[in-house]
A and B are shown apart, each in its own frame.
Chain A
Amino acid sequence: DAGITQSPRHKVTETGTPVTLRCHQTENHRYMYWYRQDPGHGLRLIHYSYGVKDTDKGEVSDGYSVSRSKTEDFLLTLESATSSQTSVYFCAISESGTTNTEAFFGQGTRLTVV
């Protein structure tokens, strides 16, 4: 199994509070991704990183920011959580963003904003 650890695995937070989710990998892969999963939508890309300090937006990036100061860690921050951000968040890694690379996913983080 690919070495991907997400923390925390579950979190309940109040509306308006900041929340940071962490993704840690031991594979030294260049690309890291944050997705959210909601019923009827599959997985949607929030942000991704193609190297240390190199990040870009996905299709649902509003209300989220990311940081990657080390190859192994990719942080997702909700600056002021809203109920619409209640979701399951998945981190993924891949060796590169080009052909002949396979993506692997972490176990997910279930976030509830009340």
Chain B
Amino acid sequence: GIQVEQSPPDLILQEGANSTLRCNFSDSVNNLQWFHQNPWGQLINLFYIPSGTKQNGRLSATTVATERYSLLYISSSQTTDSGVYFCAVEYGNKLVFGAGTILRVKS
């Protein structure tokens, strides 16, 4: 099956700093999504991005499908950005998740 690897596994930032999260996948995929799981456990859709670049406020994402990776950029981080960030790829009819990046933003 497909392997989805996220890096780094943990990240601590000072409020206002920028960060880049990476998602590598081992095979061609139909699409890719980024999610944020907040401290209450809710999974929030950030980006649906099978290829190209998208931006939403302070967050942006880029997927290079031919090279099998995606990047999530967080600029001017805020404490509310804390939580776990997951990428998930659609492989066949299934959504396969990476293990996540735990982000802690300190004030």
Binding site for B on A (CB under 8 A): 31, 33, 35, 40-45, 48, 50, 56, 58-59, 88, 90, 92, 94, 97-105, 107-108
Contacts and interface: CB of A to CB of B under 8 A. Distances in A.
Interface residues of B, number: 23
A43 B1 CA distance: 15
11 contacts: A40-B99, A42-B86, A42-B99, A42-B100, A44-B97, A58-B94, A97-B92, A99-B31, A101-B31, A103-B33, A108-B41
Contacts of A50: 93
B12 interface: no
Contacts of A31: 93
Interface of B: 1, 30-31, 33, 35, 41-43, 45, 48, 50, 86, 88, 90, 92-100
A46 B48 CA distance: 23
B88 A103 contact: yes
Contacts of A35: 97
A43 B31 contact: no
Contacts of B48: 102
A43 B86 contact: yes
Nearest to A90: B43
Nearest to A107: B42
Contacts of A45: 94-96
